[in-house]
Amino acid sequence: MLSERELSAAIGSTAYGPDGEKIGTVEHFFTDDRTGAATWVAVSTGLFGTRHSVVPAADATLTEGSVRLPVTRDAVRAAPAVPDQHLAPEDEALLRRHYGLDAIPDAGPDAGPAPVTGDDATRDLSLPPQGAPAARHDTVAVDRAAAAVPPATADRTDGAMTRSEEQLRVTLQRHPAKRVRVVKYVVTEEVTVTVPVRREEIRVEELPLDADTAAPSVRTGTGTGLPEVIVLHAERPVVTTEVVPVERVLLRTEVVTEHVQVRDTVRRERVDVDTDGVAAPRT
């Protein structure tokens, strides 16, 4: 039995028989009204896919993208023509007779009819024409979108089809990107500082003889009144370095948001009308 995920993946795939012969292309499935299990599948056959046949899907399997059906290609080609959107009880009984699925196990001579409870109490269980066995349930055609949802929400409108498409869903997952370690190192750079320096120079001052200026008392070594040696002083820069604290560094993390484009391939269903040409009558 195909799961809901396999039902959705099987739409549009190629159907093969038990002997490996190609039967056709899977169009949609018919599910049980009560259990939601896929019971029949509509397959397009023929050279251009213009013929539509309904095939049992209870034992169908999905293998490597293709559907394996438990019937041969000849049995599918000889299947009776029934509506490919909704199966009535008499249509299902006709198909079961064709594929040999209408055998009812012998419950013994004393076995009476099965009790009818719940929704089956209001279901029409009368025998179809020509003495065919009663249909166990009604079936409804579902497309790819309906196969992926529970049976209670499947589209059951006759003559209608639900078109579905895939939408891109992006989720975010947090993962470690990098490790950060704090280290302190010394950077050497050249610094130029301009400082003023002073030096002493000799300057000669001439004063009048009658100027009331107290002459500095200097010691003379000769009779000229001038010192023998004058020492001139000058300043020179002395460079030293000192380590002083200048700032404090704090560590913290912050979230930076950026926009990233995500690209992927999505599929969507398209609905086309397949019209069979009918030749005009010759007169």
Residue 26 tokens read as 């899977």
Residue 24 predicted with pLDDT over 80: yes
Q: State the Cα–Cα distance between residues 43 and 24, nearest whole angstrom.
A: 6
Return the pLDDT at 216: 57
For all residues of the chain together, what is the average pLDDT? 74
**Which pLDDT belongs to residue 104?**
47
- The model's pTM is 0.37
Q: CA angle at residue 88 from 83 to 94, to 5 degrees?
A: 80
Give residue 278's pLDDT.
Answer: 58
Terminal-to-terminal C-alpha distance of the chain = 53
Return the biggest CA–CA distance within the chain. 167
**Region 34-62: what's the mean pLDDT?**
81
How far apart CA 72 and CA 15 sit, in angstroms, is 11
- Rounded Cα distance between 95 and 57, Å, is 12
Give mean pLDDT, residues 104-113: 41
Report pLDDT for 210. 83
pLDDT at residue 223, rounded to an integer: 58
Whether the Cβ atoms of residue 7 and residue 29 lie closer than 8 Å to each other: yes
pLDDT-derived band at 153 (thresholds 50, 70, 90) equals: very low
Given pLDDT bands bounded at 50, 70 and 90, which one contains residue 10? Answer: confident
Q: How confident is the model at residue 231 (pLDDT cuts 50, 70, 90)?
A: very high
| CATH architecture for residues 4-103+134-148 | Roll (2.30)
CA distances for 76 relative to 96, 97, 141, 244, 279, angstroms: 12, 13, 18, 94, 25
Highest mean pLDDT among 35-44, 135-144, 241-250: 241-250
For 29-43, 134-148, 199-213, which range has the lowest pLDDT when averaged over its residues? 134-148
For residue 209, pLDDT over 90 is answered with: no
> Where is average pLDDT lowest: 47-56, 64-73, 84-93?
47-56
